[in-house]
Structure 1
Amino acid sequence: MTSTPLLEVTDLTVGYVTPEGERIVLVDSVSLRLEPGEVLCLVGESGSGKSVTMLAVLGLLTPPLTVFSGSVRFRGRELVGADDETLRRLRGAELGMIFQDPMTSLNPVRRVGVQIERALAVHQRLDRKARRQRVVELLAAVGIPQPEERSRAYPHEWSGGMRQRAVIAMAMANDPAVLIADEPTTALDVTVQAQLMQVLAEARARTGAAMVLITHDLGLVAQHADRVAIMYAGRVVETGTVWQIFDDPAHPYTRGLQRSLLGGDGEPDGRAYAIPGSPPAPAQRPTGCGFAPRCEFPGKTAECDTNTPALIALDTDHALACPPAREAMRTTAPSGRQAAS
């Protein structure tokens, strides 16, 4: 890892204050780092805080959501508290965003090409002819057939997969250094998913962009991630390289997610495994470890219900927020892991 990461999030806490004055926390003391050119995957069930974390990074939180505390630095520059003009210059130019539903990103009454052209006009001094040519090049790069003709169509005239390709083209229009993809393939069939992820990989290869991929699909994580951050109830509970997370998962939640995969270790009677219970609502999160009410780890202790565990490094790039799991690893791991933990 470099001494100064491309993007660094430190102790970020996001939430809102109710009319009664109660403070509700959605993202709790999250720390992440993204190195140049790498893919960081944020993984967790719905409501774990993945998307809110990245919206805070981009300065796209809408009231009443606000950043309570913490830092977001892009190339060493603080973004929390930055003015709207500074953030507008960065969004689309240095920080690109692909949202989950392309129909919420595309204006239904404007032609697709015009919308991509607008992304170029905001950040680059190109004449209209050059912008139109760039739009055609971008659409061709993301696999749109007859890109010049298709650019004159409206979003409703495109299929879901084509619309998502258009959103990718828009996000990559200005060759951003960081691309944030919020579950970009959720509503698509597996064949189109694979095609779109290949498009993203090729686009990143051309520009050298780093990427934060928000997903609950562990298959995508295994294929595309360099590092992984597992989130639960607004907190990061485990981080590591993709190999550490898949080959040596430590947190009970990470193990539960893996066991839930089709083809994984199911129930003794042959049924697919599901983590018991449901994630807590932000206003009803338990004291102590947020995962404690659902945890099946044999080493679970009474302190899990009262003490909020800190994220502590196990080795160079593997960190864990679970004291019982750390203790279990201390007693069973080789001497190198014992010393690190």
Structure 2
Amino acid sequence: MAPALSVLDLATIGKTETIADGLAATVDLAQAAEKHGYTRVWYAEHHNMASIASSATAVLIAHVAAHTSTIRLGSGGIMLPNHAPLVVAEQFGTLATLHPGRIDLGLGRAPGTDQTTMRALRRDATAADTFPQDVRELQGYLAGESLVPGVSAYPGAGTAVPLYILGSSLFGASLAAAFGLPYAFASHFAPAALLDAVEVYRRDFQPSEQLERPHVIAGLNVVAADDQATAEAQVRDLMRSRVALLLRPGTTFTDEQADALLRSPQARHLHEMMRHSAVGTPDVVRQQVADFAAYSGADELMVAHQGTTAEARVRSLELLAEVYAA
């Protein structure tokens, strides 16, 4: 059986778009995903990134949920060390109460930003060290079995919002296996340890009340277009925009300068981030997605549609759904 298809949406803000445009586009993409049979849409917590509008992740999920009807929505993920588990339980308990059976809670332990912004978030540098305990505390609140005497989550208690562990290393794989939770690997930008992490997760998995058998979600970049040249041009523009990651914030550069940097050794990791990508016409993308599914052994594919405009991302989503169903 082919893996289920889901969507990771970063609420991208294009070069000529406003934040309001980017947020409106998240609704359009989720509605298209719902129409075309995708399983879920997740939003990632990032901070201090001018091209990403999903920093207030729970708020964004609430907005999209109010404009859709059936598709599951969630975080991919909430960076738990940035937050008190009680507050996360209250937020997602509220979402689950308003939209029963539709809310997921994916959890990561990275800051989702740079070191300076991490300090602005009032996050302690050692906060990630207690990630396993924080997951258990959060799980207790949502189950209505608080591990903190005298403290419960209202809303949240008894909602049993399903948890997912996100990661790009063996740590997350081991934790998800030990806790009996689904595991989502960030192979759409950190592909190196994918196979090792999946092996560890499946080998060590312990059944839990939430999950009887392992469930692996693997990230994949997709740029599907009506013709090959259009898809490749979108990837070229995407890579040019990512050159900003190599430069000081606010640095401007031309397309020619970006291309020169992309040919240099300094950009090697930018290309590595895109190792697992399906790019091209529907038939080309269908085969590349099938190849990745076989390679990863995933039960579900979390697709980041990487078109450089809102319209291109929706079109990519539609084309993939059409050929995948066929």
Instruction: Give the alignment's TM-score, normalised by structure 1.
Output: 0.35
Work out which of the two has the higher radius of gyration on C-alpha atoms and give 1 or 2: 1
TM-score, length-normalised on structure 2?
Answer: 0.36
Whose strand fraction is larger, Structure 1's or Structure 2's? 1
Higher helix share: 2
